Amino acid sequence: MDIDFAELASLVALLKEADFSEFRYEKGDVRIQVRRGALETESTAPVVSMIPSPKTAVHVAPAAPLPASQPAAATRVSAQTVPGASVIQAPMLGTFYAAPKPGEPAFVQVGDRVESDAVVGIVEVMKLMNSVHAGIRGTVVAVHVNNGELVEFGQALFSVQEDSA
């Protein structure tokens, strides 16, 4: 193995600041793979079963206005839901996956527009993959969960600024 450890260290330092769930690096026969969140088995590529989720979208009553700093359109995961925005909730308890397969881009990111039938994530329960549909139309303004995390029933996954009717 001819890995330059200094190079690797700087790479890791860079990654520390970046927002990602999986990183792959290939150079010659050197392959580096870095993941955040829970481990997934490579071989079992999620088969997306289209189970209709009854009501994934629930309006969150605009609670007490938050202090000045409105969460900007960053891709960072935020715990706070966005005032005035609607929330896409987990339709069941399970492990949340943001992308269709490890290494692939996330279904949605902050700033993306979603239609109500759009798949925004996967919730895995005992190896059964369940698609999560947006259920609402609008723009994603916040992501509330990390890839590979346990999500509970009803947990907020995304905040979406709905298109005005």
Partner 1 sequence: MTQRHKVFVANRGEIALRIVEACDRLGVDTVLGVSEADRDTLAARRAGQTVVLGPARANQSYLSMEAVVHASVVTGCTAVHPGYGFLSERSAFAQLCADNGLIFVGPRPEHLDVLGDKLSARRVAEAAGVPVSPGGPTTSGEEALVLAERIGYPVLVKAAFGGGGRGMKLVHNAADLVAAWDLASSEAAASFGDGTVFVERFVQNAKHVEVQILADQHGHCIHLGERECSVQYRYQKVIEEAPCAALTPQARERLHGYALKIAQHIGYVSLGTVEFLYDVERGDLCFLEVNPRVQVEHPVTEAVTGVDLVREQLLVAFGEPLRLRQQDILIQGHAVELRITAQDPEHELRPSPGRLKKWRPAPLGGVRWDTHLYEGYLFPPYYDALMAKVIAHGNDRAAALQRLRMTLQRLEIEGPVTNVSLLQRLLDAPDVVSNTVTTRWLEVALHDLMGATA
Using rule CB under 8 A, residue 111 touches partner 1: no
Phi-psi domain of 104 (left: phi exceeds 0; alpha: psi -120 through 50; beta: other): beta
Q: Please check whether residue 47 is in contact with residue 129, taking contact to mean a CB–CB distance below 8 angstroms.
A: yes
Using rule CB under 8 A, residue 94 touches partner 1: yes
Q: How far apart are CA 54 and CA 12, in angstroms?
A: 42
Using rule CB under 8 A, residue 7 touches partner 1: no
Piece in contact with partner 1 (CB under 8 A), picked from 25-33, 43-51, 98-106, 118-126: 118-126
Determine the distance from the C-alpha atom of residue 66 to the mean position of all C-alpha atoms in its chain, rounded to a whole number: 24
Minimum distance, C-beta of residue 124 to partner 1, in the bound complex (Å)? 8
8-state DSSP, 63: -
Within residues 73-92, the interface with partner 1 by CB under 8 A covers: 92
Using rule CB under 8 A, residue 52 touches partner 1: no
* CA angle 80–34–132, rounded 5-degree value: 45
Using rule CB under 8 A, residue 59 touches partner 1: no
Q: Please check whether residue 132 is in contact with residue 90, taking contact to mean a CB–CB distance below 8 angstroms.
A: yes
Minimum distance, C-beta of residue 41 to partner 1, in the bound complex (Å)? 14
Minimum distance, C-beta of residue 4 to partner 1, in the bound complex (Å)? 37
Using rule CB under 8 A, residue 93 touches partner 1: yes
Residue among 101, 68, 70, 93 at smallest CA distance from 145:
93
Residues engaged in binding partner 1 (CB under 8 A): 38, 92-95, 124-126, 128, 150, 152-155
